[in-house]
C-alpha cells in the first residue's frame, strides 16, 4: 500500500509541474543563481557515474535520472 502512496505522490508532483509550467519561472535576467555550478541538474557527472555504477552492481534498481542499463555482467 505504501508504494501506491508513493506513486500518487509522484503523479501529483508531475501534475503540479505540468499544470504550473506556463505561469512559473523567471525572466532571462534573473538566472544568476540558476547559473551556479551547484544548480546544474548533474553538477558532478563523474561522481554520479561512479555512484550509479556502484548501486547498479549492488541493487536491483537502476536508472531514473537517465537510462537504466541492462547489465555489466555483474548483475
Partner 1 sequence: MQLKHSHPGKTLPLRRKLMAASYALLGATAVRAQEFNGAPADGGVLGRLLDGLTVDSALAYYHEDGRVQAVEPVVDINKAFANGQSLDLNATFDVLSGASPNGALTSRQPQTFASPSGSSFTGKHTYVVNPGQYPVDSNYSDVRVAVGASWNVPFTRLTSMSFGGKISGEDDFISATVNASIAHDFNEKNTTLSFGVSNEFDRLNPVGGAPVPGSNYDLFEKTGAAKTKDGVSALLGVTQVMARNWIAEFNLSVDRFKGYLNDPYKISSVLDAAGATTGYVYESRPEQRTRKSAYLENRAAWNQFSAALSLRYMQDNWQVRSDTAELRPRWTLFDGNHYIEPTFRWYRQSAAYFYTPWLLNSDQVEFQSSDERLGAFHALTFGVKYAQKLHYQEDRPGSEFSVRFEYYQQTFNQPSAPTALQGLDLLPPLKSILVQVGWRY
For partner 1, the binding residues (CB under 8 A) are 3, 6-7, 10, 13-14, 17-18, 20-22, 24-41, 43-47, 49-51, 53-55, 58-61, 63-75
- Using only the alpha carbons of the chain, give its radius of gyration: 17
Contact 62, 69 (CB under 8 A): yes
Q: How far is the CB of 9 from partner 1 (least distance, A)?
A: 8
Q: How far is the CB of 13 from partner 1 (least distance, A)?
A: 5
Residue 53 CB burial class (10 angstroms; 0-12, 13-18, ≥19): middle
Q: How far is the CB of 35 from partner 1 (least distance, A)?
A: 4
**Total residues found in the chain within this entry:** 75
Amino acid at each position: 500500500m505504501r508504494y501506491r502512496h508513493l506513486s500518487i505522490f509522484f503523479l501529483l508532483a508531475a501534475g503540479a509541474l505540468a499544470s504550473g509550467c506556463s505561469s512559473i519561472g523567471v525572466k532571462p535576467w534573473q538566472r544568476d543563481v540558476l547559473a551556479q555550478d551547484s544548480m546544474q541538474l548533474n553538477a558532478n557527472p563523474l561522481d554520479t557515474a561512479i555512484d550509479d555504477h556502484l548501486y547498479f552492481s549492488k541493487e536491483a534498481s537502476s536508472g531514473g535520472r537517465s537510462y537504466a542499463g541492462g547489465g555489466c555482467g555483474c548483475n
